[in-house]
Structures are given as structure tokens and as C-alpha cells.
């Protein structure tokens, strides 16, 4: 399932090269996955309120084109499982149909003591694909 979010590049996001600083794209990935949770009818805040946390264990980004001040960027986020206990979000950052950057983050599920857990059932269901067929009723 794909979710979409939009951000506008701030002055504070740019650097002296006149383009968005490479480290800021990871913040925009966060915007993307936040919106992904919301598109499933929940929120990451809600996940945390159940005592679960999803820290990032790996992050990667490939930069295709510079992003400039005041650009509107669309973050397209998809999800796929990645082994037993790992989640993987993939992100395309687009501007007017052009790919600006592409990347992923890998997450585990931990409790408030930072102990890694098997993903709880409610989370697995959340992360499982919604049938997209005729009868499909998304949670959005």
C-alpha cells in the first residue's frame, strides 16, 4: 500500500550549496512513514501509547536531483516486511513527477526498555497488505 505526503523545503533545510542538505531527507522519510501509519487508520503516536517503539536500525538514501528552497516535495511511502522481526519502509521523494531521492529505513519493534520484541499481532495486521480487490475496504 502506498501513502503520499507533502512537504515544502524551508530555508533552514537548505545549505550553502543552495540546495537541501542531504541529512534532511531522513526527516522527510519520517514524514512519509508517519503518513503511512495515518493512511492505515492509526498513528505512530498510538503505537507508542501501547508501549511499542520502532527505532530505525538502518537508513539509506540515493540523491538523484537537488531539491531547492520552497520546492514542494511529495513523499511516496510503501511498506514491506523484511524478515521475522524487521519492517522496511521505502520512500520516493518526487518533485513534479521527477524523482529527487529514493531510500529506505529498516525498523525493529522494542518495548520501553529497548528490548527487541516479536512484532505484536495488531502491528502485523496493520502492516499486512489490505486486499485491493473489488470488495476491498481500506482502513484509511
Residues lying near its own copies in the complex (CB under 8 A): 8, 10-12, 14-19, 21-24, 26-27, 30-31, 34, 43-45, 48, 53, 55-63, 66, 68-70, 105, 114
Q: How far is the CB of 55 from its own copies (least distance, A)?
A: 6
Q: Tell me how far apart the alpha carbons of residues 86 and 50 are, in angstroms, rounded to a whole number.
A: 18
Q: How far is the CB of 3 from its own copies (least distance, A)?
A: 14
Contact (CB, 8 A) for 75 and 115: no
- Cα 41 to Cα 14, 23, 59, 103, distances in angstroms: 33, 29, 25, 24
- CB of 60 or CB of 129, closer to its own copies: 60
Contact (CB, 8 A) for 5 and 75: yes
Q: How far is the CB of 69 from its own copies (least distance, A)?
A: 5
Amino acid at each position: 500500500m502506498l501513502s503520499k505526503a507533502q512537504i515544502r523545503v524551508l530555508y533552514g533545510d537548505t545549505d550553502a550549496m543552495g540546495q537541501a542538505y542531504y541529512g534532511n531527507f531522513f526527516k522527510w522519510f519520517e514524514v512519509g512513514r508517519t503518513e503511512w501509519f495515518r493512511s492505515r487508520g492509526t498513528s505512530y503516536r498510538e503505537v507508542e501509547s501501547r508501549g511499542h517503539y520502532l527505532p530505525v536500525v538502518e537508513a539509506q538514501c540515493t540523491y538523484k536531483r537537488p531539491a531547492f528552497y520552497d520546492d514542494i516535495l511529495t513523499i511516496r511511502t510503501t511498506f514491506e516486511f523484511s524478515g521475522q522481526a524487521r519492517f522496511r519502509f521505502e520512500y520516493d521523494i518526487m518533485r513534479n513527477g521527477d524523482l529527487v531521492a529514493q531510500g529506505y529505513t529498516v525498523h525493529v519493534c522494542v518495548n520501553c526498555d529497548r528490548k527487541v520484541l516479536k512484532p505484536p499481532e495488531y502491528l502485523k495486521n496493520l502492516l499486512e497488505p489490505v486486499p485491493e480487490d473489488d470488495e476491498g475496504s481500506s482502513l484509511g
